[in-house]
Structure 1
Amino acid sequence: MSDSILINEDGVAEVSVSDARKHLPAILDAVEEHDAFVYLTRSGRRVAAVMPPDIADNYEAIEDAYWSQRAEQAHAEVRSNTDTTMSWEQALVDLEGKAEA
């Protein structure tokens, strides 16, 4: 492998982990200068990716929004189903009672 990374027409490159160890500066240059995605491979299988930080930031924001929405949905479901929920104290009483039986 030379000191440059071969980026395909889609802006993607694949580099083995062993080559990545030797050519990290070239990988970082490809990502920074060409907005490339560089997949690191082990035995031909993708195991990691190096990507522009703005894309990673966007992914993180999407994940945060998704899990926030899921948490809000769960809270709304609990609030709307008060007849099927119980307090922690009641759950302990029920569990301890069953353990003694």
Structure 2
Amino acid sequence: MTVTDARARLAEVVDAARVGHAPVYLTRRGRRVAAVIDAEDLDRLVAAAEDLADIEAATAAREEMDAGEPLIPWEQVKADLGLA
């Protein structure tokens, strides 16, 4: 749907995204430029992305440990973060 059409029918666009749980893509000059999605769907996507980032960071940390990288003592981590 073009941005111009979406502007004229905003309530319909929001309802379509909310009820259908599928993004409504907005286009300008034939290219997708934005999407309207249900807020709860967005929350789930953000949480999933954060979980994936945590998993990737944990995997990288394990690989560093397996490679013999020196460990940082917990007391040092707390001090560096201003928690001690």
Q: Secondary structure at the match of 2:33?
A: strand
Q: Any conservation in 1 of the 2:21–2:41 contact (CA below 8 Å)?
A: no
Q: Does 1:67 align with 2:53?
A: yes
Equivalence for 2:10: 24
1:48 positional shift: 1.5
CA shift for structure 1 position 70? 0.7
Q: CA deviation at 1:56?
A: 1.5
**Tell me, which stretches of 5 or more residues in structure 1 are unaligned?**
1-14, 86-101
Larger radius of gyration: 1
1:32 Cα deviation after fit: 2.9
Q: Does 1:40 align with 2:23?
A: no
Name the SS for the 1:82 alignment partner: coil
**Runs of 4+ residues over 6 Å off in structure 1:** none
What value does the CA root-mean-square deviation take over the aligned residues? 2.3
Q: Which amino acid aligns with 1:32?
A: R
Alignment coverage as a number of residue pairs:
71
The residue number in structure 2 matching 1:52 is: 38
* C-alpha displacement of 1:36: 4.3
Q: Please give the alpha-carbon distance, in whole angstroms, between the structure 2 residues aligned to 1:32 and 1:59.
A: 15
Equivalent AA in structure 2 for residue 31 of structure 1: A
> Among the aligned pairs, what percent are the same residue?
36
Structure 2: tracts of 5 or more residues without a match = 71-84
Once the two structures are superposed, residues 20-68 of structure 1 have per-residue CA deviations (whole angstroms, 9 ceiling, x without a partner) of 2232222112223443431101112222111122221221122111111
